[in-house]
Structure 1
Amino acid sequence: MASSRGGQQVIRGGDMEKMSLEQLKAVKEQADIEVNLLQDSLNNIRTATARLEIASTALNDLSLRPQGKKMLVPLTASLYVHGTLDDSEKVLVDIGTGYFVEKTMAEGKDYCERKINLLKSNFDQLIEVASKKKTLADEAGVILQTKLKQLSPSS
């Protein structure tokens, strides 16, 4: 009926037709849950990619500003303070969980680009997995409806 691969069950096309109604419902519900989780992950990746692209653009803009330039520095999304650009060749890069690393401007740009490429690669892989799970959920739903129609008395 289903083979086990790395702790996951892999369901083949013809196997679902042999399943009971309860098994089909469970397969559909599980696939729907997984699709929703994957959609959340895809949204998180989109958000992270957008933030990194904004950071990359900000680095490019910052690298063009002369030393001693007065500017507004964002402390939060809505709070800015006046500041002066001391050195545009050194930047602090947020590497996660509150840790920052000092890098050169070129290293900062490279870091952003590598992270963006990694996220885009992960996004593409998740799209593929989500598509397969959605197909599985749809197939289970169709087979479940067919079986339910066969069980109900004809009108």
Structure 2
Amino acid sequence: MASSSSSSSARGELEKMGIDQVKALKEQADLEVNLLQDSLNNIRTANARLESAAGALNDLSVRPQGKKMLVPLTASLYVPGTLDEADKVLVDIGTGYFIEKTMEDGKDYCQRKINLLKSNYEQLFEVMFNSICGIEDILKD
């Protein structure tokens, strides 16, 4: 009930606005939705990187010490190396800071960050969905 009365009052206010004001309001709503979509894409990208890091930690944990391997410097540049200590990893905690953690703590860190990103993604998606539905309800009336 509250939704229909709020959309009715929104429609009433829209009818009082000039065409330029309605266009400006629509542009503002479109901008908000685009910003939310960009945020969702950024979260998806960060989640993919963390999933990749978690997979790399799982692969690394089963390799024996002294194993020769290719070490990634970037996404496309690798150098040869030898696995020295498989039980310790460096974890990027942001803004150029790294901390040394045990393998299990590193896996746990990645999983916690993945869960946090998934939660943030779901919340942002709900906000965006509600914004789009609100815009459509107003325009439909």
TM-score band, normalised by the shorter chain? 0.7 to 0.9
Partner of 1:120: 118
Distance 2:23 2:9 in 1: 14
8 Å CA contact retained: 1:32, 1:137? no
Question: How far off is 1:91 after superposition?
Answer: 0.2
Counting aligned pairs with the same residue, the percent is: 66
**Matched residue, 1:47:** 45
Displacement of 1:28 in angstroms is 2.3
Deviation of the 1:16 alpha carbon: 1.6
Q: List alignment gaps of at least 5 residues for structure 2.
A: none
Q: How many angstroms apart in 2 are the aligned matches of 1:100 and 1:12? A: 50
Say whether 1:107 aligns with 2:105. yes
> Where has structure 1 moved over 4 Å in runs of 4 or more?
none
Partner SS for 1:12:
helix
- Aligned pair count reads 133
Show the counterpart of 2:24.
26
**Contact 2:7–2:138 (Cα < 8 Å) also in 1:** no
Q: Mind listing any 5+ residue stretches in structure 1 that lack a counterpart?
A: 1-10, 144-155
Note the alpha carbon deviations across 1:111-155, whole angstroms, 9 max, x for none. 000000000000000011000111122233335xxxxxxxxxxxx
SS in 1 for 2:99: strand
RMSD: 1.6
TM-score in terms of structure 1 length: 0.80
Contact 1:16 1:24 in 2 (8 A): no
